[in-house]
Amino acid sequence: MTNHPHTTAAQAFKLPGGLISAVPYGSGHINDTYALEVAVSGKVVRYILQRINQQVFKAPDALMENVERVCYHTQQKLASQGVPDAFRRALRLIPTLQGRNWHTDDVGHRWRCYNFIENATGHDVVSSPRQAYAAARAFGSFQALLADLPGKRLHETIPYFHHTPKRLANFRLALNRDPHGRAKSAEKEIQFALQNEHLASVITGALARHEIPERVTHNDTKLNNVLLDNASQEGICVIDLDTVMPGSVLYDFGDLVRTSTSPAAEDEVDLDKIVMQLPLFTALIEGYLSSAKGFLTQRELALLPEAGQVITYEIGLRFLTDWLEGDVYFKCKRPTHNLDRARAQFKLVESITAQLPAMHPILNQLS
């Protein structure tokens, strides 16, 4: 096998057999992910190898401290609850030959290796209420598992990650600088961002006024960050633990609404396809309440519909900012990818806003 950085990094981990292959895998926007195939007693066993994006995560060792605590706690708790297939319901870090939980290569990149969750899929687009239910139930269970995480407060791996007013301020800075002269290509989106600035403080304001509590949350709950079992469609394992840190459940539920209520892709260019569908929202509420109802406060519950509106707006702002800044953050596959993504998010915000009056009665009825 050629000596790519990822094949070299793979050799640093205590794998139970010889490496057969290491190929790029998945559709995440941030890290470099590889599927490893390892020969173990005549069988092929897969692992996930990841290089952490250190442009995005400035303190990778602190991030990995969080990840190791989260993996350890979730596995221990599931095992102590006697869950029979606990091994595929929480990620496990594969140690390095030196017995560490991550590897630093000779140019300073951090790598980690996880067990591969087989017979499960991370979907980029929702295709049924059943999937929406399963995803929301899994993220609610994940929050419940972490409610008693022992030890100090988790590190904030990206400070102000869901601080929507700061995201808005960053957008304004990018707009004022317009370093690539791209603002003229996004006039409608820029107007939308500015006209909806009142959305920015809905969640952060409630947190600041202590109307809702800080909790350990996932913070990146898009649909493809939970693997659904191929046979049962159950949400079997929450992945992408880089942003598990102090947050609000509204960030998590909001990103579920963003990614699991419209049957169109995040970067859909046919805006007519982007619509928040009430049956999918209903399934999200049902799934989320099935695992989270026991710990949610009345105020958290009441804000669930707005959470989708705010987080979709926030991520639209982030895509638009990245467009203006010249595509420096999110991985892009085409020249206008970030602009397309921003447009699609704002279309979805419009759809959610129009349907808020119908979302609240659904919530009230189900809670």
CA distances (Å), 306 to each of 3, 48, 97, 190, in order?
49, 35, 48, 21
Q: Single out the residue of 296, 215, 216, 311 nearest to residue 261, CA to CA.
A: 311
* Site track 189-228 with ligand GN1 (rule: CB under 6 A), x = hit: -------------------------------x-x--x---
| Closest residue to ligand ADP using C-beta atoms | 28
Partners of 235 in the β-ladder: 228
CA distances (Å), 175 to each of 167, 178, 191, 262, 322, in order?
12, 5, 11, 29, 10
Query: With binding defined as CB under 6 A, does residue 117 bind ligand ADP?
Result: yes
| Residue pair 58/82 in contact by the 8 Å Cβ criterion | no
116/346 with CB nearer ligand ADP: 116
Q: What's the token pair of residue 338?
A: 């970030």
Query: With binding defined as CB under 6 A, does residue 316 bind ligand GN1?
Result: no
From the list 4-12, 22-30, 130-138, 202-210, the region that binds ligand GN1 by CB under 6 A is: 22-30
From the list 101-109, 148-156, 194-202, 238-246, the region that binds ligand ADP by CB under 6 A is: 238-246
Report in angstroms how near the CB of residue 345 gets to ligand ADP at its nearest: 17
Query: With binding defined as CB under 6 A, does residue 288 bind ligand ADP?
Result: no
Query: With binding defined as CB under 6 A, does residue 28 bind ligand GN1?
Result: yes
How far is Cα 301 from Cα 287, in angstroms, rounded to an integer?
Answer: 13
How far is Cα 168 from Cα 201, in angstroms, rounded to an integer?
Answer: 10
| Residue 122 binding: pick among ligand ADP, Mg ion, ligand GN1, none (C-beta 5-8 Å cut-off by kind) | ligand ADP
Report in angstroms how near the CB of residue 310 gets to ligand ADP at its nearest: 22
CA distances (Å), 130 to each of 142, 280, 321, in order?
18, 8, 34
Query: With binding defined as CB under 6 A, does residue 13 bind ligand ADP?
Result: no
Residue among 189, 229, 252, 266 that touches ligand GN1 (CB under 6 A): 266
